[in-house]
Every structure is written in structure tokens, then in C-alpha cells.
Amino acid sequence: MFDELAQREDERYTTPPRWEALMEAVSEAACLHLFNPDHPLQTIGRFEALATRGLGGFGVVFKVRDPELDRLVALKLCMTRGPESAEGLMNEARVLAKLSHPNIVSIHEPGREGDDVFFVMEFVDGVNAHDFVRDEDPPWPEVVDVYRGAGRGLAAAHDAGIVHGDFKPSNILLDAERWPRVADFGLAQVIADHLAGEELRHRPGTLPFMAPEVLRGQAGDPLSDQWSFCVSLWQGLEHGLPYDGWTPAELLESIERGDPWVLQPAVPEAVRSVVRRGLSVDPAQRYPDMHALVAELDKLRERPGASQETSLDAPAVVPGSSKVTEARRRPFVLGLLLTGAALLGAWSVEHVPWAQPDPAETSKPQLAGCALWELPPHEPSPEVQSICRLIRDGDYKGANLLWDSVHRARFISPSTSGIEGYSHLDLALDAIIIAQTFAEEAMVIEKSTTKEEAYRVASSMAKGWANAASSTSVLHRETERAGEPPATGEPPVTLETIDRQVSEVHRRLQD
């Protein structure tokens, strides 16, 4: 269900060629900077771009550094249609910048890049709620607490007269402490207003989360935001959308058929009852506002016994939001395709293990660190070997960080590898080697009662990079179908071998 939803999102959008060129330039400059800190980074306005964070229908998000304030921020480049549209966006950005709340991603300032407008926002180093639920499968109280915090942010925006217009799990950003912040307030509606005359695909909102009245053509309002909030919460609790449809007509038909699907018996009916009211087809039957809805969620979490499965009600910096207790804080995979933060450019040469090889090690290949399960004879590249050694040394986070940086750059442009003929199929092979090495580490420490957290980290990263290998091989297959010329030389591995080894990683970690 999660992968299907992501596919639907991708199909809604086309990327302007200028953005594709910019993303490739950012990736190439950041990768070169990783190996040579004197190499300049690509700039957007005055900001130094470190990595591409995500891509959507109305914008592309970059992780950047503000050289004037020496801080990391996020920069969202937005679609426009000429000078009048750009000026309208700039004015709206100044209004949105006044919106301030602990559960809202702050907008610092607007700016211009060619014909496009960008918004500079608070940088949240973590995952979004969609990936959090998909990758970590948290119990229902954790999901509810994430949405309690997000609901407070949504309520504060409504109090200020701002409608979100595109609320969905991927617009809830969670930091390392699982503190939720809602992103992109008002941007979908604002951008849509300035794309007059465009096709229906530019209607604000994301289809599975759009309220029935919006599907019928009415303007969004706080009650339609409430519907989107409840669809998102339902998906987080049930691991499935309450209603399904590939078109507005199909989705409306599904909504009108009746009660949403129930998929997770462990979720209390009292929780579903709260969410069902927010999913009332008649807006007048929903909660009067988000404050009332969040208050009902608060009551659920305050009942005796409601905190037995990991309470998030520990003291927080700002009252009324959510944090995760130490026992439930888990590292998470940042490397799944375009859904996490690569820290390109943040490492100097002395931090890169393969940049300064030990002379004693250069006389022979160092393959002992890399797992090569049933793969053809293959000598991994020096950076892959070095990352494997980091994994063997137990530095899982450092290994994951470095490989995420390399993988992201090569996924966008394989030529950044500097290896002649390197293709997405080579990248899939490297990713499965990293996945197998993480998996071997997980299996070694699985039986240790003192290394449960390390096992969760290693196994999670193994599965994540196995999935990345599968997705990369699919991209290679689609490239072949499109008739693009193949890379020169013999392919390093077959697509069938990649698929088989991806399954093997998951099988061994389940045994």
C-alpha cells in the first residue's frame, strides 16, 4: 500500500528540465566537494546546496547552507508561470513567514532563482510520518501522539486564517526526538492560485487525502484540512488508506460506499470512532475545528492503560506535543530513494576513509569486509570496500551516512562515480553488497541480549538498502525499455540476480 501510494504521487508530476539540470548540478558538485573540500558547491541564490531532499508536484526541496548565518536550512524551489505569478508567490511567502508555532516548519524568507521562487525554511533532520510508520511499524499510541502534535500545528494555522490545502503524512516532519512539525502550509493552494488555466492535476491537494467537497470542485477550508488529517491518521493506524481511487470520480465512489476499511485489529475502536467523525462526508458532521479533534485524541491518551504501549507523554520542551521515550527511539534509514537527507559536502577529506589509503593496504585488494552472497566474481570499488569496513567496525550510522551520500549522487547521475561505463545496474550491485554486509552484521549480533538496539539498526539498514537495490535495478530496466543506449562493457550482474539477492536478504533476516 505504501509503495503503491508513492507510485501514484510520482505519476501526478512531471519535473521541469531546468529542475532536473539543477538537481544534477547540485549532486555532481556536492559529490566532488565530498572528495575535495575546495571544490565549490552549487549555489541557489546565496545558499550553498548540499543535497536534493525531495521532489513533488509544485517544487523540489534542497538541503542548503546559509553562508551568512552559517546554518543549515531547507530550500523549496516552487513552480511559477511568469513574473506576475512569481510576484504573487513572493507576497504570499511573506504572509506565511509570519506563521510561528512549535509544530510548524518555519518559513524564514522567500527568494528568486531565475523565473522560479524559493522558500527558505527550517531544516528538520529526520524522517516524515509516512516513512516513520512504514519503516518502523510503531504501535498505535506512537502514531496517535505524532498526529496530536501535528494537529496542534494545523489548528494554529487555522487560527491564523491559513488553510494547508495538501495535508498528508509526508508533510509531517519528525526530528530525531520524534517531534512533529507540519510543512508546506498554504503552499499548495497558493501555487495553484497562481497557475490559473492549468490542468486539473494542478488542483491543490493529493488525491487520496482530498476531502469529498474538494473533489467536487469546492475550495479547501479548515474542515477539508480536517478530512485530510483524518485520512493520514487512519493510514498510519491501519497501514492502508480508508478509501481508494485512481481518479476523483473513483475516490468519491469509494467514499460514498460507506465505512473505511479496518485492517489492524490492535487499534482500539475508540480511536477509530474519533477518526471516523473527522471522515464524515458532510463537513457539518465533522469536529467544529482541529482543537476539538485534538482534544478527543488527548482524552484517549489520558485514559488509564492507554500508555501501556510506549507513552509519548514524557516532559517536552513545548507542552502538548509529542516525544518518544528513550526505549523506543530507533535509528532510521535515510537512504531510501529521495526520501531522506544525504549530508553531501559535510565531510572533509580526512573523514573519508577511502580518500587516504593506508600504504600497507594498497598492495592487495581488501575484500574481507564486504559480503558477496552468490554474486559473480567482483571487486567492489574502494569507497564500497571502505564503507563495508566501517560496518564491520560497528560504525553503522557513519557507514550509512557515507553510502547514502554516494548512492544519492550516483542514483541521480551514475557518471559521478568517475568509473567508465558505470550504470544504475552497477549501483544496484553496490547497494546489494552494502545490504548483505549489514545483514551479516545483524545475524552475528542477533543472539546477543546486550545488542538489541544494534541489531535493529543493522537489520533495518540491510532491508532498506536491499529495497534501494531493487528500486535501482527497476530504473535500469525502465531505461532499457525506453531504448536508451546501454553502458559499455559486460553488465556486472543480471537483474534476476539482484532480485534474488534482495529476497535473500529479507529471508535471512526473518529466519
- The 3-class secondary structure across 126-147, one letter per residue, is CEEHHHHHHHHCCCHHHHHHHH
First to last CA, the chain: 24
Q: Are residues 390 and 317 in the same domain?
A: no
Strand order in the sheet with 127-128: 127-128, 172-174, 180-182
Cβ–Cβ < 8 Å for 55, 338? yes
Spatial separation of the C-alpha atoms in residues 382 and 272, rounded to whole Å: 52
Q: Do 135 and 252 lie in a common domain?
A: yes
pLDDT value of position 448: 63
How many Å apart are CA 301 and CA 493, to the nearest integer?
A: 52
In a domain, 430, yes or no: yes
**Amino acid letter at 20?**
E
User: Both 147 and 94 in a single domain?
Assistant: no
The gap from C-alpha 112 to its chain's centroid, in whole angstroms, comes to 25
Asked which of 90, 122, 154 is the last residue of a domain, the reply is 122
In a domain, 344, yes or no: no
Whether residue 138 is found in the same domain as residue 115: no
Q: Are 99 and 118 in contact (CB under 8 A)?
A: no
- Domain boundary pick from 105, 122, 139: 122
Q: What is the CA radius of gyration of the chain?
A: 23
Distances, alpha carbon 90 to alpha carbons 95, 105, 110, 164, 203, in Å: 9, 18, 6, 17, 20
**CA dist., res. 144 & res. 489, Å (int):** 53
**487, three cell numbers:** 553502458
Closest CA to 13 of 78, 57, 77: 57
Kindly state whether residue 492 falls inside one of the protein's structural domains.
yes
Beta bridge partners of 121: 74, 107
Residues 354 and 491 in one domain: yes
Q: Which of 67, 92, 122 is the last residue of a domain?
A: 122
Q: Is residue 337 part of a domain?
A: no
Q: Residue 292: which domain range? A: 127-328
Q: Work out whether the CA dihedral 316, 317, 322, 324 comes out positive or negative.
A: negative
> 31 Cβ partners below 8 Å, 6+ apart?
344, 405, 406, 409, 416
Closest CA to 370 of 404, 403, 335: 403
* Domains identified in the chain, total number: 3
- Is 139 in the same domain as 43? no
Shared domain check, 141 and 52: no
* 2-12 vs 129-136: helix crossing angle, rounded to 10: 150
CATH number of the domain bearing residue 108: 3.30.200.20
| Cross-strand bridge partners of residue 110 | 119
Record the cell numbers describing residue 348, joined without a space.
572533509
Regarding whether 179 and 158 lie in a shared domain, the answer is yes
The torsion defined by the Cα of 396, 402, 404 and 407, in degrees rounded to 10, comes to: -130
- Mean pLDDT by 10-residue block, N- to C-terminus, for the chain (511 residues)? 41 66 85 82 93 74 92 87 72 77 90 85 90 90 96 92 90 92 71 44 68 91 95 93 88 87 86 95 96 95 53 29 30 30 33 38 47 77 82 80 80 76 86 91 75 80 87 72 53 79 86 59
Name the phi and psi angles at 124, rounded to 5: -110, 115
181 inside domain: yes
Residues 179 and 316 in one domain: yes
> CA 423 to CA 487: how far, in whole Å?
6
Q: 53 and 153 share a domain?
A: no
The answer as to whether 341 is a domain residue is no
- Give, to the nearest 10 degrees, the angle between helix 222-238 and helix 269-278: 150
Q: Closest Cα partner for 101 from 180, 175, 166, 167? A: 180
State whether 231 and 358 are in the same domain.
no
Q: Which residues pair with 54 in a beta bridge?
A: 61
Would you call 298 a catalytic residue per the annotation?
no
Check 145, 166, 225, 426 and give the catalytic one: 166
DSSP secondary structure string for all residues of 211-243: -HHHHTTPPP-HHHHHHHHHHHHHHHHHSS-SS
Residue 70 lies in a domain: yes
332 has which bridge partners?
none
Same domain, 155 and 38: no
In this structure, what CATH number is given to the domain that contains residue 155? 1.10.510.10
Q: Does residue 41 contact residue 49 with C-beta atoms inside 8 Å?
A: yes
Q: What is the pLDDT of residue 117?
A: 85
Residue 167 included in any domain: yes
